[in-house]
Amino acid sequence: MSGILIYGEHREGRLKRVSYELLSRGREIAQQLGEKVKAVILGNQLEEVAQEASSYVDEVYLFEDPILENYNSEIYLQILEKLVKREEPSLIMAGATLQARELFPLLGGILECSVIVECVDIKIGDGKLSYVKPFYGGKILGEVIPKRYPHIVLVRPRVFQVKEKPAGQGLIRKEEVQIDMSKVEIKTLDVFKVKEKITDITEADVVVCGGRGLKAPENFNLLMELAEVLGGVVGATRAVVDAGWRPQSEQVGKSGKTVSPNLYFAIGLSGAIHHVMGMDSSKVVVAINKDPTAPIFEYADYGLVADLFEIVPILIEELKKERG
């Protein structure tokens, strides 16, 4: 067994940011270990996605077929199982996304191998790989030693940096798509998309998160405006999601998503521990709250004890001026 296989997850005809992160880091690890790095892409009409990925790797396995247009775990698994058994990679990397967190534990169950979820660091010592992942909602970190190849590692988005696209170009192998439909028991009836365009909060550079201090759902317009000037997205606390002010997909925290943006605004939220678990790996944190004793200030780099309804409009204005 040798080589690294990277799952090139994509959306709307483009590789996801986390795929670029893994292609960048996977390439480095392959160079260090003197092994080959490959990517696998599943979907329909993905020539450009495959081209893009091929710059980072030696080979791209491209599975294109209308049946792969929408994700179906059983159909995707049939392809991945066959490919992995044929190519025998020692390391398989994917982003810790909703899709991969279903697909790859299932693949690991079939292969009975080591699966590490929410990996935040990959260590190479003596040519051996180990993986760091959080436990207890991130209070504890642990180094995990895999015992059985292939290692399936689901890496948290924004842990690794996207490196500049290398000059070369790997081979694109168009693979035959063969599915045994008699073994597919899960049928997709419908897909409900929330909006035309939706940004995954785990991939955003800037997250502007609001809590109950916003007082009413319509006041989130203010945060949306701030997010827009900053080129970011809006996040929400459990309280406001439970109240139905914001969709579940925006929830930051233990029962929502973990985000690690460059810049995190915590606005009108107290900073309950289950919330902090979802944002503490952000690079820079700004907290705005009227209550100086709010726990969120313990997890912030910059603290403003102030009324958000006074601060945020001025902040939007000033940033707009800055950006011309």
Partner 1 sequence: MDILVCIKRVPDSEAQVEVKEGNVLKIEEKYTINFFDNLAVEEAIRIKEKVGGKVTVFTFGSSSSIEVLRTALAMGADEAILIEDENVPYKDEFVTAKVLSRAIKDIPYDLILCGREAFDTSSGLVGPFLGKMLGIPVITMVTKVEVKPDERQLEVEREIEEGRELLRVNLPVLLTTQKGLNEPRVPTVMGLLKAMKAQIKRIKVEDLGIKPDSIGEETKVEISKLWEEKKKRRIRWIKGTPEEMVKELIELLKSEARVL
In the list 8, 89, 210, 256, the residue contacting partner 1 (rule: CB under 8 A) is 256
74-93 binders of partner 1 (CB under 8 A): 74
Per-residue contact flags (x/-) with partner 1 for residues 33 to 52, judged by CB under 8 A: --------------------
Q: H or E stretch including 25?
A: helix 17-33
d(CA 209, CA 299): 14
Give the CA-trace dihedral at 153, 159, 163, 165, to 10 degrees: 50
Residues 264-283 that bind partner 1 (CB under 8 A): 273-274, 277, 280, 283
- Shortest distance, CB of residue 253 to partner 1, whole angstroms? 9
CA separation for the pair 260, 153 (Å, rounded)? 18
Window of 17-25, 35-43, 70-78, 217-225 that interacts with partner 1 by CB under 8 A: 70-78
- Residue whose C-alpha is closest to residue 303's, from 259, 271, 257: 271
Residue 70 CB, nearest distance to partner 1 (Å)? 8
How far is the C-alpha of 282 from the C-alpha of 93, rounded, in Å?
Answer: 22
In the complex with partner 1, the residue whose CB is nearer, 173 or 274, is 274
Residue owning tokens 């534990």: 105
Distance in Å, CB of 24 to partner 1, minimum: 21
Instruction: In angstroms, give the least distance from the CB of 166 to partner 1.
Output: 27
Residue ranges with strand state E in 45-95: 59-64, 91-95
Q: Which of residues 277-316 bind partner 1 (CB under 8 A)?
A: 277, 280, 283-287, 297-307, 310-311, 314-315
11 scored as a contact of partner 1 (CB under 8 A): yes
* Sites for partner 1 among residues 147-186 (CB under 8 A): 147-148, 185-186
The smaller minimum CB distance to partner 1, of residues 37 and 263, is found at: 263
Rounded least distance, CB 69 to partner 1, Å: 13
C-beta of 54 vs 265, nearer to partner 1: 265
Give residues with Cβ within 8 angstroms of 312, minimum separation 6: 222, 223, 226, 267, 288
- Tell me how far, at minimum, the Cβ of 203 lies from partner 1, in Å: 10
Q: What is the residue type of 270?
A: S
Question: Angle, nearest 10°, between helix axes 308-322 and 220-230?
Answer: 30
What is the distance between the alpha carbons of residues 50 and 162, in angstroms, rounded to a whole number? 17
Contact in structure between 66 and 44 (CB atoms under 8 Å): yes
In the bound state with partner 1, the residue whose beta carbon lies nearer, of 48 and 318, is 318
Which 8-state DSSP code applies to residue 44? Answer: S
**Angstrom distance (rounded) from CA 27 to CA 10:** 19
User: Which CB sits closer to partner 1, 55 or 295?
Assistant: 295
- Is 65 a residue that touches partner 1 (CB under 8 A)? no
Q: Which residues in the 216-245 window bind partner 1 by CB under 8 A? A: none
